[in-house]
Amino acid sequence: MLGYYGLITMLEIKNAQPVPAESLESFLQKEEAGLEKVLADIEEWNKKNLVVYPVPTPEIAFKRTGIDHKRRFLEALRMDPESRTPLYLQLLPGQEAGGRPAFPVKDISVFKNPMWIAQTRFTTIREGEAVLPLEVVASACDEPDYGFDIGIWQDNNSPHSKKFNMGIQPFGNPNLEYGSQAPVHMGFYHEAGIIYLLAGFLKRTYPEMRVHQAYALSRFAFRTGHPYWGFRFMGWGLHYVQDLTQPYHARVLPGVGTLRMLWINFMDIIGRHEGKKNIVQLVSNRHLALENFQRRIMTRDLRNKDLNQPYWFALQNTEFDSKYNHFNKKYLRDVLTEESVSKSDELSREIMALMPVRLVDDPGVEFEEEKGSMDLLRTMETNQPGSVSQFANVLARLTGAAGVHSRNYVRAILATQDTYDSVN
Ligand SMILES: [Zn+2]
């Protein structure tokens, strides 16, 4: 939804001619030689530019062998090689399938029980079928959440994790099936120095790696005449860009000051673990409540065909795009997340003021277990009339950022010149 409406006001995407769908296997077979070089360059770039970067074992480097392309390609990117990557499009809530056959939800992701996409509808597309770029990018924007970053850590006991050499999983809620993807979908670049000193693992977040991989692969695919993959890789990168516009993906504990973090940490060291456990649970619940609100309200609007809401206007508004420099290697760290972090304390206060206390202020509750039995929007309205429309304005600040930074990333990919490494 963010991808589709964030890019609909970009004519380069909205009016782009339909492109022929192409399976990943076909693309990889045709471009194997070129990809060997591109992936080697990406690896060099990682070593040179990422502040913290564990070098992979040489055995996963992508070589021209003529066999088993998909698995080797995903491994070279350090993504779960079991990721599905089929030919499909994701329908927006309320969108007609246009005569295309349904694609089964259970075949889209590696997860056993992907509750959060149970309501999403997908359609199958055929090899060579003409598809709209906007629909390709928008569908691909959600794809990394289907399991790209699962089981990539050394202690995840997956068949591939040892070769990846990513180290021990830095953090992530072990109660959640998708917990191990957290350090790739979050970027903590703006914590106080002392926090990194005490908790060095917080530096080990890797969205910059994914955003650059997708950028380089997308440009390569366009250059070599595979526009379908140009747009799909673009969507992969956009996922991480959009994740980081969400303050709960850019700060460890929004709403919790450095001194309080230090105190909680001190208590934890001397054996009083309760405080730390509680705060981690609360922040995880607030994070999930926020995303649940967003998904529910945007789905509701699309089903009702009512986009007359502040967060839809903000998402589509291009007025502030040029306020930022072009999207380069510093953008995620110095521009985008800086902005997300600056909103985080206020956002945390608003969540606590407007959302049900049980969900966002009770450490005994695991949000994932509660949400199935609760209609969040209705509960908010019953508890506190007017809270849904008040929170709609809060959401507009977030969708505004998702729109601006998505379009700026897309502009950088489509630009004639590669300016990712030129910092201004
Ligand atoms: Zn994500």
pLDDT above 70 (res 263): yes
Averaged pLDDT for residues 266-271? 89
Structure token digits, residue 258: 């450095």
Asked, for residue 420, whether it belongs to a domain, the answer is no
Helix (DSSP H) and strand (DSSP E) numbers for the chain: 21, 5
**Residue 244 Cα to ligand 1 middle (Å):** 9
**Residue 289 Cα to ligand 1 middle (Å):** 15
The total number of structural domains that make up the chain: 1
Largest CA distance in the chain: 63
Q: Please name which of 141, 91, 98, 147 lies closest in space to residue 120, comparing C-alpha atoms.
A: 91
Q: Who surrounds ion ligand 1 at CB < 5 A?
A: 145, 185, 243
Asked, for residue 419, whether it belongs to a domain, the answer is no
Asked, for residue 97, whether it belongs to a domain, the answer is yes
- Mean pLDDT for all residues in the chain: 94
Cβ 24 vs Cβ 70: under 8 Å: yes
**Residue 422 Cα to ligand 1 middle (Å):** 27
Cβ 195 vs Cβ 261: under 8 Å: yes
Structure token digits, residue 351: 């969540």
Domain of residue 15, residue span: 2-414
pLDDT above 80 (res 408): yes
Asked, for residue 176, whether it belongs to a domain, the answer is yes
Q: What is the pLDDT of residue 175?
A: 63
106 — pLDDT class (breaks 50, 70, 90): confident
**Residue 51 Cα to ligand 1 middle (Å):** 21
Cβ 66 vs Cβ 106: under 8 Å: no
Residue 86 to residue 178: CA distance in whole angstroms: 20
Asked, for residue 423, whether it belongs to a domain, the answer is no
**Overall size of the chain counted in residues:** 424
Q: What are phi and psi of 344, to 5 degrees?
A: -70, -40
**Residue 370 Cα to ligand 1 middle (Å):** 21
How is 16-62 classified by DSSP, letter by letter? PPPEE---HHHHHHHTHHHHHHHHHHHHHHHHHH-SS-PPPPGGGS-
Asked, for residue 118, whether it belongs to a domain, the answer is yes
Asked, for residue 347, whether it belongs to a domain, the answer is yes
**Residue 74 Cα to ligand 1 middle (Å):** 18
pLDDT above 80 (res 187): yes
